Amino acid sequence: MRNRYRLLALFLLLPVGSALANPDVTSREYKLMLHVAPFSYSTESATVTSLLDDAHNAIEHAINRSVSGLPWLEKQRDISFFDTQGSCELRRRGYSLRERVENGASEVALKFRSPDRYLSDFEDVSSDTPGAETKLESDVSANANEPFKVVYSHSTKAPNACTINKIEDVNVHFPEFHSHYGLDDDLALSLVGNLSVREHVYRGVEIDLGQHDAQISVTLWYQGIPSGSQKPLVAEISFKYEDVSADYTRKVVNRAKDSFEALKSLSGWVDSDSKTKTTFVYEYIPTFCQ
């Protein structure tokens, strides 16, 4: 308790724009890309169930704790990324701008990512938009070259009522971003890769990590509205746990690591050579940033 009072006192003395000496990571998400070959729209639910059955068995064996629940299609929404065509001014600064549209409602998210937790915390992504939510999150991933990679993302999502076509649409939601980088309001934004994605998200299965439960998600991205035997562009399995005080126990983080290793062992599902979702979008048309 005494340490928390000291931390609060330190926070009150910090000048504007300073990061905390030990910034709280309130959310931790572990992500693995999947082979898309087993999936198709017509058999999507059954394939997701089969994947999560295998994940269930592997994780329970690894951590000797329960994995419970049944998967269900929780979200169907449209995803778009925006940047300046030819220069990618946002990505060049470590940022991404994403819009999600679900049931006609738009939500825009500005995210900065860095392998340095302190650099991520310094970036001010705050928003004055009512209903905006900000978090500092660690994203854990793996690929053929990096079996365990951590990147810190500082992001804010906010309800959105405007059509996104220029930097002004970013600045209006995120005034501190505008204040720091000074990008001109009239600078045009384009749909990255000219690609609109229909996202399907399955949830309902949870891992008992002890102090926290981790929610498993399976995310599938299709080009446009899927039909028939259409395959997704990308597929991902992830799990996340959160604590607003970032007070994670050693047992929780060790069980999470062991659960992640168990998922990595599912070689028939996991594609260690695949790109992340955002990288896939930016490389969909390789010349977009040139």
**pLDDT per residue as tens digits for the range 57-87:** 999 999 999 999 999 999 999 999 999 999 9
Q: What is the mean pLDDT of residues 84-110?
A: 98
Per-residue confidence (pLDDT) for residue 11, from 0 to 100: 39
Which range is least confidently modeled, 21-25, 121-125, 175-179? 21-25
Per-residue confidence (pLDDT) for residue 181, from 0 to 100: 96
Per-residue confidence (pLDDT) for residue 12, from 0 to 100: 40
Among candidate residues 44, 169, 42, 185, the one with its CA nearest the CA of residue 109 = 169
Q: What is the mean pLDDT of residues 189-204?
A: 97
Q: What is the mean pLDDT of residues 246-256?
A: 96
**pLDDT over threshold 50, residue 4:** no
**pLDDT over threshold 50, residue 236:** yes
The mean pLDDT value of the chain amounts to: 92
* Strand duo 72-83 + 95-102: pairing: antiparallel
**pLDDT per residue as tens digits for the range 18-37:** 444 579 999 999 999 999 99
The larger pLDDT score, comparing residue 148 to residue 138, is at 138
* Strand duo 27-34 + 133-141: pairing: parallel
